Amino acid sequence: MNYHLDGLEKGLKSFGLSLSEEQKSQFITYYEMLIEKNKVMNLTAITDFDEVVMKHFLDSIAICQVVSFQNRTNVLDLGTGAGFPGIPLKIVFPQLEITLMDSLNKRVLFLRDVIDELGLTGIEAVHGRAEEAGRNQTYRESYDLCVSRAVANIATLSEYCLPFVRVGGRFVSYKSSTVDEEVEEGKKSIELMGGHISQVYKFALPDTDLQRSFVVISKEKKTPKKYPRKAGTPSKDPIH
């Protein structure tokens, strides 16, 4: 099929970015693999090419509005699912060191296939639950940046994500535009995990009426050893 990435290129241009032919080809291959695998396992409800381009690819990369990726940043994409935002970020910013983490091994195996097929290096897909991996010294407080598009409230996500972030690093949560109340309710959890809300950035995806926001949380001190709590607790009983 002949896919046109005009929407992605136009959107990226508004962020001051452009794509090489190789990067364009990587996005198209990724899309084809995603759609093929989606026939046998649930990866995305969005399958139309232009919609995937806008709502998954461009949305993933939009974080460049609040985080500079000039340096070799060490990034954890927690609850990555089908690889968003980690794989689009790796394609556009190849210098990033990325760990994709998901609790479902079938998804992790799919992501490893994508990494191999696209010829990506400096990226790995890891099978793990946030509650256990967050206590593992290999991962705990070892990332410059943790990102997540996972569907959970900020209080829960902070308990999942902030234990992975080094002091001086950041956790950025991808959210819809209606986030103010959730942020307010998440403040106690964020503080307990050693974090501080440094920015809530609201925007529309270029050339769409899709309203999005990024909640940017700075890690100011170490997360107490007792967090994250045991599996299932952060989502069942968020700290408010």
The domain boundary residue, chosen from 107, 128, 149? 128
Query: Same domain, yes or no, for 174 and 119?
Result: no
Query: Same domain, yes or no, for 20 and 117?
Result: yes
Asked, for residue 216, whether it belongs to a domain, the answer is: yes
Query: Same domain, yes or no, for 86 and 14?
Result: yes
**Is there a contact between 233 and 159 (Cβ–Cβ < 8 Å)?**
no
Structure tokens at 185: 């309710």
Asked, for residue 140, whether it belongs to a domain, the answer is: no
The domain boundary residue, chosen from 128, 144, 176? 128
Q: How many domains does the chain have?
A: 2
Peptide bond into 206 cis (omega under 30): no
Residue 177 is part of which domain span? Answer: 164-240
Beta bridge partners of 216: 172, 199
Give the torsion sign (CA, 123, 103, 211, 36): positive
Task: Count CB atoms within 10 A of the CB of residue 204.
Answer: 11
pLDDT of residue 1: 73
Query: Same domain, yes or no, for 15 and 121?
Result: yes
Q: How many CA atoms lie within 13 A of 23 on its CB side?
A: 17
Average pLDDT, consecutive stretches of 10 residues, N- to C-terminus, the chain (240 residues):
90 96 97 97 94 96 94 93 98 97 97 98 97 96 96 94 98 93 96 97 92 97 96 93
The domain boundary residue, chosen from 109, 128, 147? 128
Asked, for residue 25, whether it belongs to a domain, the answer is: yes
Q: How many CA atoms lie within 13 A of 187 on its CB side?
A: 7
For residue 68, report the phi and psi dihedrals to the nearest 5 degrees.
-90, 130
- Which strands form 195-204's sheet, in the order they lie side by side? 123-127, 97-102, 74-78, 143-148, 165-176, 211-219, 195-204
pLDDT of residue 190: 98
CA-to-CA separations, 83 to 78, 180, 229, 236, in angstroms, rounded: 10, 27, 25, 25
Query: Same domain, yes or no, for 18 and 93?
Result: yes
pLDDT of residue 71: 80
pLDDT of residue 151: 84
CATH code of the domain containing 118: 3.40.50.150
Query: Same domain, yes or no, for 86 and 201?
Result: no
Query: Same domain, yes or no, for 12 and 113?
Result: yes
**Is there a contact between 100 and 77 (Cβ–Cβ < 8 Å)?**
yes
